[in-house]
Structure 1
């Protein structure tokens, strides 16, 4: 059984059709890069995966069962904007999620239980390269360091699926290269299934093990919102390890997209 199944998935907002006829199967451990024009439904799709939006039609299944329409511990998310709490230190930011969970059953978390949470948070921060910045606040961290902190937050509950919504879009090229290596290492170490939205086609090819192109198959200039986008290209990248081997050139990327049969 596939980890995730999409069967004639659609999303409407009133008369506006954002996504339609989305059909795909994703196996555990895949890294799916998602590209497409602005407004074609990429983030809406990620929100349905996260559970903050529900499908209008069709099915979105995890292990053969509909995804619960609320965020869950099995799905972590990192946005382009640094989604960290400014009034908490790096360590406190990563501890917070587990503290919330335990507080539901135990009330305020104290003593050995809080020490154990802090130890796990320190280990995660060390893994993302922030072991030296445990007591720093977000405003004291660079953009790349804040995204490392957001990754640590997303991974602290050991999710099976990691959702990335243009996580490197606001970073300088040199920092992005370091973050590419980090996400590759985390993908392998945590055996994650990753969905990553990017506007950088080369980034999508160099990181992912599979590339989806979202676009509208049907267009109506008289009613532009009548039809939604779907996966028009589904390109296997034949990578067991993301980022392995030389990066493709821009021409190689264009050739690969335009010579791959369009999804019906």
Structure 2
């Protein structure tokens, strides 16, 4: 059985159709890069995966069952803007998710239980290269370090699925290269299934094991919201498809709309 199934999946907002006829099967351990012009529903799809947007039609399944309509520990998420708590240190940010879970059943976490959580959080910080920054606050970290912290925070509950919404878009090229290597290492080490939105085709081809292109198949100039985007290309990647990358560039971004 596939880990994630999209079966005639659609998302509407009133009369506006954002996504329609999404059909796909994703196996555990795949890395799906998602590209498409601005406004074509990429983030909407990620929000449905996260559980904060319900499908309008069709089915979005995890292990053959509808994805819960709330975020869960099985799905971690990293946004383009660093989603960490500014009043907590790096270590406290990573500890927080586990503390919340245990406090839900045990009340506030103290003593050896809290020390165990701290040790696990420190080990995760070391995995993402922030072991020496455990006591620093987010404002004391560079952009790349803050994004590493967001990754550690997302992975601390050992999710099966990692959702990335343009996680490297705000980073300088040199830092992005380091982050590309880090996410590849984490993907393999933790055997994650990843869905990553990017506006950078080269990034999508270089990181993913599979590339989805979101675009509208049907157009109505008199009613532009009548039809939604679908998965128009679903391409297995060997990470060497540079010729196909150039061909798709004009299809996905015909006016170089990469904002």
Do residues 64 (structure 1) and 64 (structure 2) align? Answer: yes
- Unpaired stretches in structure 1, ≥5 consecutive residues: 240-246, 260-264
2:148 and 2:95 mapped to 1: Cα distance?
15
Matched residue SS, 2:133:
coil
> In the alignment, which residue of structure 2 is the partner of 1:177?
177
Q: How big is each residue's C-alpha offset from its partner over 1:18-42, in whole Å with a ceiling of 9 and x where there is no partner?
A: 0000000000000000000000000
After TM superposition, the score normalised by the length of structure 2 is 0.94
> In the alignment, which residue of structure 2 is the partner of 1:132?
132
CA contact (8 A) 2:201 2:249 kept: no
- Over 3 Å counting, the alpha-carbon distance change for 1:173 and 1:257 in structure 2 is closer
2:161 and 2:71 mapped to 1: Cα distance?
12
1:197 and 1:45 mapped to 2: Cα distance?
10
> In the alignment, which residue of structure 2 is the partner of 1:219?
219
> In the alignment, which residue of structure 1 is the partner of 2:50?
50
Aligned length: 251
> In the alignment, which residue of structure 1 is the partner of 2:189?
189
CA shift at 1:65, angstroms? 0.3
Do residues 17 (structure 1) and 17 (structure 2) align? Answer: yes
CA contact (8 A) 1:233 1:257 kept: no
> In the alignment, which residue of structure 1 is the partner of 2:73?
73
CA contact (8 A) 1:4 1:61 kept: yes
After TM superposition, the score normalised by the length of structure 1 is 0.93
CA contact (8 A) 1:34 1:197 kept: yes
Matched residue SS, 1:132:
helix
1:231 and 1:61 mapped to 2: Cα distance?
17
- Unpaired stretches in structure 2, ≥5 consecutive residues: 252-259
1:47 and 1:167 mapped to 2: Cα distance?
15
Aligned alpha-carbon RMSD (Å):
1.4
> In the alignment, which residue of structure 2 is the partner of 1:160?
160
> In the alignment, which residue of structure 2 is the partner of 1:34?
34
> In the alignment, which residue of structure 1 is the partner of 2:234?
234
> In the alignment, which residue of structure 1 is the partner of 2:200?
200
Q: How big is each residue's C-alpha offset from its partner over 1:151-204, in whole Å with a ceiling of 9 and x where there is no partner?
A: 000000000000000000000000000000000000000000000000000000
> In the alignment, which residue of structure 2 is the partner of 1:90?
90
